[in-house]
């Protein structure tokens, strides 16, 4: 079971602020671009990259605020997306996913699952629910031996 809440102050300042001055930026850290058309991402609730055979049986990913303002919850635009799955080799399965406040629930190799298409309630806090999400199988990805 996974559960996360995004930093209430983000995206102001935008990641990796305020930590890069103390910790630096790590190789492989994601970049969070912002546009006027979509909300900024404050941080991923879950990233699964270049992996295989991972099962998650329950996940609650919540983005309640945008720069300490909670009005974004009901319009599903506190941030763009909660979960990123990319370049995996199959067997990636997430069951019972709940999100609050994001425009998209999951990004899987560029495809987006829209939160409003999966609303479970019609009142505040407008949470979205997926019973089962199985990521596509990408077999041509090189995985270094660890």
Residue 145: what pLDDT?
A: 41
CB 13 within 8 A of CB 42: no
For the whole model, what pTM was predicted?
A: 0.83
Domain residue spans of the chain: 2-20+38-134
Alpha-carbon gap, residue 9 to 1, rounded angstroms: 25
Query: pLDDT tens, position by position, for the chain (146 residues)?
Result: 899 998 888 888 777 777 777 777 777 777 776 666 777 777 889 999 999 999 999 999 999 998 899 999 999 999 999 999 999 999 999 999 999 999 999 999 989 999 999 999 999 999 999 999 998 644 433 333 43
Peptide bond into 13 cis (omega under 30): yes
Q: Is the CB of residue 6 less than 8 Å from the CB of residue 42? A: yes
Cα 130 → chain centroid: 14
Q: What is the DSSP string of 106-123?
A: EEETTEEEEGGGGB--SS
């Amino acid at each position: 079971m996974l559960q996360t809440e995004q930093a209430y102050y983000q995206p102001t300042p935008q990641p990796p602020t305020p930590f890069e001055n103390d910790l630096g930026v790590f190789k492989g850290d994601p970049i969070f671009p912002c546009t006027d058309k979509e909300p900024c991402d404050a941080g991923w609730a879950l990233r699964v990259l270049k992996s295989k055979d991972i099962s998650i049986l329950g996940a609650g990913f919540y983005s309640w605020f945008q720069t300490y303002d909670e009005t974004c919850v009901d319009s599903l635009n506190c941030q763009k997306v909660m979960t990123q799955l990319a370049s995996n080799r199959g067997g990636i399965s997430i069951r019972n996913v709940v999100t609050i406040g994001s425009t998209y629930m999951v990004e899987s190799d560029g495809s987006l699952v829209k939160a409003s298409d999966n609303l479970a309630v019609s009142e505040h806090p407008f949470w979205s629910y997926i019973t089962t999400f199985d990521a596509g199988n990408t077999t041509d990805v090189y995985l270094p031996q660890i």
